[in-house]
Structure 1
Amino acid sequence: MKTVVGQAKSKSFALLFADFKEITKARLAVSVVFSSVAGYFLGADQLSLSAILLLAFGGYCMVGASNAYNQIIERDLDALMNRTANRPIPAGRMTVGAAMAIAIVLTLIGVASLYFLNAKTAMFGAISIFLYTSVYTPLKTKTPLAVFVGAFPGAIPFMLGWVAATNEFGIEPGTLFMIQFFWQFPHFWALGWMLDEDYKKGGFKMLPTGKKDASTALQIIMYTIWMMVISVIPAFGITGDLQLSVPAAILIFIMGGVMLFFALRLYTKRDNGSAKRLMLASVSYITLMQIVYVIDKYIG
């Protein structure tokens, strides 16, 4: 009997943990934490394990809170779409009250953790939650400009790490912000292209023209080019303490060229397969680009 009870408790805990990961979008949160830690490595003169852990923990809490608030607000719309119908709230596995409690606790813990680093880091973290929850989320059913608005909180993590390390905001974290800001447009529009039919079930307006057309594909190309240019600007010595060697800049530009290739392919083919390949290329780009920046700093 004890064995059966123990197995039941273990299964129940596993289900609760799975729902917690879903309500906080764990995979997305981890990728955001990775960006923040990369920014910290770029800004820090001396690495501090305690600071890295605080940044990672606080960052996860802030992203998790934003996603929980988002799923509370969009619970009825999530129920209409295939990709979100099985989320904890629309599937009935979690109450709105429980989700709200998770979101509030994560907000408080996240802000406090980042405040231990410095007040500016906590402020930017809180701003990202506010913009994502109170501006971006309501706009998604109103206008395609929601993606532009959402790019602001989405671009904060890379620069957040620099601010956490230096307690300063200047051209260096501003450049990191701009890199991730422009990257988001080809990434999310490729995702929006793939899931356009499903998004429309929930009334979301994710593509800039509202259609999977040449104009949308052309805008994806233009933002990809801007991303490539801004990603290598530190190699020209005009971004303060944020430096990039010429070999690293060439490598990053080539990686951006891979994204551009898939963006051009989407323009010519305009199919979901091309959009998926662009989306995957964008995920690889942002991760590898940050790794190259960090390696270049420490071996340069």
Structure 2
Amino acid sequence: MKTAVGTVKEATDVSAFADFKEITKARLAVSVVFSSIAGYFLGADKIDFTVLLLLAFGGYCMVGASNAFNQIIEKDLDALMNRTKNRPIPSGRMTVTTASVVAIAMTIAGIVSLYFVNPKTAMFGAISIFLYTCVYTPLKTITPLAVFVGAFPGAIPFMLGWVAATNEFGIEPGTLFMIQFFWQFPHFWALGWMLDEDYKKGGFKMLPTGKKDKGTIIQIIMYTVWMMLISVVPAFGVTGTLQLSVVAAVIVFIMGGVMLFFAFRLFDNRDNASARKLMLASVTYITLMQVVYVVDKFV
């Protein structure tokens, strides 16, 4: 009997943890933490592991809170879409009250943790939560410009790490912000292309032209080119202490070229398979680009 009770409790704990990961979008949160840490390494003269831990924890809470608030607001719409109907709230596994407690607790924990790093870092973290929850989320059912608005909080993590390391905002973190800002358009529009039919069930307007057409792909290509150009600007010595060697710049540019290749493939094929390849290429690009930047600084 004790064994049975213990097994049930263990299963319940596992289920609750899985729901926590889902409502905070753990994989996305971890990728955001990775970006923040990369930015920290780029800005830091020496590594302070206390600051690094606070940044990682605060960054996770920041993203987790934003996603929890998002799922509370969109619970009814999530129930209409195949990819989201099994989320904790629409499936009934988690109440709105519980989700609200999680979101509020993570907001407080995240901002406080980032404040212990420095006030500017906490300020940008708070701005990110506000923009994602109060501006981007409600705009998704109103206008495709929601993606533009959402790109602002999405671009904050890379620069957040620099601000955490230096307590300053200038051309260096601004450049990191712009790289990740322009990257988000081909990334999210590729995702929006793949999930267009499902998004429409929830009333979301995610593609720039509102449909899967040439106009959407042309914008994907344009933003990819802008991303490629901005990603190598530090090699020209115009971004203060944020620098990039010629070799690293060539590597980053070639990686961006791979994304551009898949963008043109989408232009030729206009199918979900091509959009998926572009989306995967974009995820690979943003991760490897940040690795190249950090390795280039220390090597």
- Does TM, normalized by the shorter one, top 0.5? yes
For 2:127, the aligned partner's letter is I
**Are 2:175 and 1:175 equivalent residues in the alignment?**
yes
Q: Distance in 2 between matches of 1:114 and 1:273?
A: 40
Structure 1 residue 141, shift from structure 2 partner: 0.2
Q: Which runs of 5+ in 2 are unaligned?
A: none
Q: Which residue identity is paired with 2:118?
A: N
Distance across 1 between alignment mates of 2:279 and 2:201: 21
Q: Distance in 1 between matches of 2:215 and 2:2?
A: 63
- 1:55 matched to which residue of 2? 55
So what's the TM-score if we normalise by structure 2? Answer: 1.00
1:197-218 CA distances to partner (integer Å, 9 max, x unpaired)? 0000000000000010000000
- For the residues of structure 1 that align with 2:91 and 2:8, how far apart are their CA atoms? 21
Distance across 1 between alignment mates of 2:270 and 2:196: 13
* Deviation by residue 1:5-62 (Cα, 9 ceiling, x = unmatched): 1111110000000000000000000000000000000000000111111000000001
The amino acid across from 1:152 in the alignment is F
Equivalent residue for 1:122? 122
Pairwise CA distance, 1:249: 0.1
Residue 209 of structure 1 aligns to a residue whose secondary structure is coil
Structure 2 counterparts to residues 268-283 of structure 1, below 5 A: 268-283=268-283
Displacement, 1:268? 1.1
Write the letter of the residue equivalent to 1:125: G
State the Cα deviation string for residues 62-93 of structure 1 (Å, max 9, x = none): 10000000000000000000000000000000
1:86 aligns with 86
Matches within 5 A, 1:82-231: 82-231=82-231
RMSD of aligned C-alpha atoms? Answer: 0.3
Residue in 2 aligned with 1:7? 7
Q: Which segments of 5 or more consecutive residues in structure 1 lack a partner in the other structure?
A: none
- The superposition leaves residues 142-187 of structure 1 with CA deviations (integer Å, 9 ceiling, x where unpaired) of 0000000000000000000000000000000000000000000000
**Hey, what's the Cα distance between the residues in 1 that align with 2:275 and 2:27?**
21
**1:40-79 matched pairs, under 5 angstroms:** 40-79=40-79
> Matches of 1:119 and 1:43 in 2, distance apart?
17
Q: What's the offset of the Cα at 1:3?
A: 1.2
* Aligned-partner Cα distance in 2 for 1:222–1:240: 27
Q: Could you list the runs of 4 or more consecutive aligned residues of structure 1 that deviate by over 3 angstroms after TM superposition?
A: none
- What is aligned with 2:28? 28
The CA distance in 2 between the partners of 1:237 and 1:7, in whole Å, is 61
More displaced stretch, 5-14 vs 218-227: 5-14
Hey, what's the Cα distance between the residues in 2 that align with 1:160 and 1:291? 16
Q: Distance in 2 between matches of 1:5 and 1:215?
A: 58
Normalising by structure 1, report the TM-score: 0.99
Q: CA deviation at 1:4?
A: 1.1
| Structure 1 Cα separation of the partners of residues 8 and 190 of structure 2 | 42
In structure 1, distance between residues paired with 2:265 and 2:221: 10
1:2, distance to aligned residue in structure 2 (A): 1.4
The whole-number CA distance in structure 2 between the counterparts of 1:24 and 1:110 is 13
Matched residue pairs, number?
299
Aligned counterparts, 1:261-300, within 5 A: 261-299=261-299
Instruction: Return the alpha-carbon distance in structure 2 between the equivalents of residues 5 and 204 of structure 1.
Output: 44
In 1: Cα distance, 2:10 partner to 2:162 partner: 40
In 2, Cα distance between equivalents of 1:6 and 1:239: 58
> Helix, strand or coil for the counterpart of 2:143?
coil
Matches within 5 A, 1:232-243: 232-243=232-243
CA distance in structure 1 between the aligned counterparts of 2:267 and 2:52, rounded to whole angstroms? 41
% identical aligned pairs: 79
In 2, the alpha carbon distance for the partners of 1:12 and 1:273 equals: 37
